[in-house]
Amino acid sequence: MSYVDEVYEKVVAKNPAEPEFHQAVKEVLDSLRPVIEANEEKYRREALLERLVEPDRQFKFRVPWVDDQGQVQVNTGYRVQFNNSIGPYKGGLRLHPSVNLGIIKFLGFEQIFKNSLTRLPIGGGKGGSDFDPKGKSDREVMAFCQSFMTELCKYIGADTDVPAGDIGTGAREIGYMFGQYKKIKSVYEGVLTGKGLSYGGSLARTEATGYGLLYLTQEMLKCNGHEMNGKVVAVSGSGNVAIYAAQKAQQMGAKVVTCSDSNGWVYDPEGIDVAALKEIKEVQRARLTEYKKYRPNSEYHEGRGVWTVKCDIALPCATQNELFLEDAKALVANGCIAVAEGANMPTTMDATEYLQKNGVLFAPGKAANAGGVATSALEMSQNSERLSWTFEEVDGKLQQIMVNIFHNLDDAAKRYGKEGDYVAGANIAGFEKVAEAMIAQGVC
């Protein structure tokens, strides 16, 4: 059996009931076949793949807090420190009832390669909790965040592990967590990114993932003879990534006609009103059913259905495994030319294969959504030098990083005879730097 297949089998056997982690590992290992096969004996002796798929360490802890009725609630917290061969662990904190160890491990594993692709000095990690911020008062969210950080603060630090936002964790949650870290440790340091601007946050971090997604998509289109201007775009999700992806797509001259949340989706044939979306989601923290009040000509549908709308470009920006084979078939039948993942692993493996086989340009999340973590790394730089850069400076660096990432994957794919396969390109380019650093640092 090949080394790659052997390692994958071991991962499944050693980590049962973690299907998302298996999926993320399989996609990466399948892409790495040509790289590993070219040097199989060396990698096998180094046990490089075994070391890569085993987190450095993982923490699982109790998070007790008191709700507004005086009832004690208990959630489970996680932090997986996956790989710090190229820099301190870096990755978001997901707060969603579906969170479990397998989901955090899949996200942490993806983060290793994503962070490597940014070419900035950040390793891979991820954390979170099964806490659901939806419907909670600000005081309840604060109580949870303080309890979560009371334990998490033992394992993180500006040069050790720097968490940030993800699903359910935005500026409010980061603020409460930062306050608690500072109170316990008495250290004012850049231990979290995505902070508010008044206490060490970076301009453009809020916009960065969505904007970065569009900068990379535009470069991919340009290199394949297309442009964003005039395109019809379907976006899923209506959170941080979706909102700023829609905004930048519109600034580039495209028309975004959909968005969604976990209850339903909106079709707005005249183009999504981003200001209304921001008001509903960022200010009111309400559901998408409210959107029709702002745009009477739009349609709201219960359930899923974004990918059935005719579009040129699809940007899944909600969560993992939200674009299935049947969706891929609908997109291809409707003439879609490009799919770029704003979320982490939103496209199932069979859907990805179908899109690629049918000539759809496909940018995987670990490249396409890397603008968020890249700008987090820029926030870390600003915190270290105790200075803040202008919006234009940060945004300019972000654009350059996203363009470089695209060319980095494009080149890696070509080097291994896989021209246009940006999934393989991203995995190979991300792996090369990490593998080199791991080997240089010896067996550890």
Least distance to ligand NDP, CB of residue 137, Å: 17
**CA-to-CA distance for 412 and 432, rounded, in angstroms?**
10
- Those residues whose C-beta lies under 8 Å from the C-beta of residue 441, and which sit 6 or more positions away, are 85
> How many chain residues are in contact with ligand 2IT, going by CB under 6 A?
11
Q: For tokens 């200001």, what's the residue?
A: 275
Instruction: From 290-298, 368-376, 404-412, 415-423, give the range in contact with ligand 2IT by CB under 6 A.
Output: 368-376
Burial 198-212 (b: 16+ CB within 10 A, else e): eebbbbbbbbbbbbb
Tell me the DSSP string of 120-152. SS-EEEEEEES---TT--HHHHHHHHHHHHHHH
Alpha-carbon span 124 to 113, nearest angstrom = 8
Distances in whole angstroms, Cα of residue 190 to Cα of each of 235, 241, 263: 32, 23, 36
Report the nearest approach of ligand NDP to the CB of residue 289 (Å): 11
Interface pick for ligand 2IT out of 28, 164, 306, 339 (rule CB under 6 A): 164
Could you list the residues that contact ligand NDP (CB under 6 A)? 96, 98, 165-168, 209, 237-242, 261-263, 317-319, 342-344, 369, 372
Give the range of 151-159, 334-342, 369-377, 418-426 binding ligand 2IT by CB under 6 A.
369-377
The question of whether 366 is a catalytic residue gets the answer no
Task: Give the residue at shortest CB distance from ligand NDP.
Answer: 239
Binding site partner of 76, from ligand 2IT, ligand NDP, none, Cβ cut-off 5-8 A by kind: none
**Which residue lies nearer to ligand 2IT by CB, 55 or 372?**
372
Contacted entry of ligand NDP, ligand 2IT, none for residue 319, CB cut-off 5 to 8 Å set by kind: ligand NDP
C-alpha to C-alpha distance for 141 and 168, rounded to whole angstroms: 11
Residue nearest to ligand 2IT (CB): 92
* 92 lines the binding site for ligand 2IT (CB under 6 A): yes
Cα angle, residue 72 at apex, residues 71 and 74 outer, rounded to 5°: 140
C-beta of 199: minimal distance to ligand 2IT in Å? 17
| Residue among 373 and 434 whose Cβ is closer to ligand NDP | 373
Quick check: 383 binds ligand 2IT (CB under 6 A)?
Answer: no
105 binds ligand 2IT (CB under 6 A): no
90 binds, options ligand 2IT, ligand NDP, none, Cβ within 5 to 8 A by partner type = ligand 2IT
Which helix (H) or strand (E) is 14 found in, with range? helix 3-14
Cα dihedral: 9, 15, 19, 23 (round 10): -50
Alpha carbons 315 and 244: distance in angstroms, whole number: 12
193: partner contacted, choices ligand NDP, ligand 2IT, none (Cβ within 5-8 A by kind) = ligand 2IT
Q: Which of 338, 341, 309 is nearest to 322 (CA)?
A: 341
- Nearest-approach distance from CB 432 to ligand 2IT, in angstroms: 20
Q: Strands, DSSP E only, in 105-254? A: 123-129, 161-164, 232-236
Identify each DSSP E strand in 261-379 by its residue range: 264-267, 299-302, 313-316, 338-340, 361-363
108 near ligand 2IT, judged by CB under 6 A: no
Binding residues for ligand 2IT (CB under 6 A): 90-92, 114, 164, 166, 193, 344, 372-373, 376
Could you list the active site residues? 126
